Amino acid sequence: MSNPTETLDALGLLCPLPVLKARKRLKSMPAGAVLRVLADDPAAIVDVPHFCVESGHHLVCQKDADGHQIYLIQKSG
């Protein structure tokens, strides 16, 4: 399992903000770095994996936590 390089707390944000903030954060990270995204927007379950496919980043894992989801996204490059 890849260790996250940075964490993006998107709790309380609604679509499309979690994905927009993840995109912005990933731009400043080196290739291969892993971003952990915390989100509680139900749309994120669809939006985050779709964003990864469209942008070429690797969705390392997606899991449910206490009232939110955790996504690990590895930056392509």
- Beta carbons of 20 and 55 less than 8 angstroms apart: no
15 is catalytic: yes
Choosing from 2, 5, 15, 62, which is the catalytic residue?
15
The alpha-helical segments, DSSP class H, found in the chain are 17-27, 44-55
- Beta carbons of 76 and 31 less than 8 angstroms apart: yes
Catalytic residues: 15
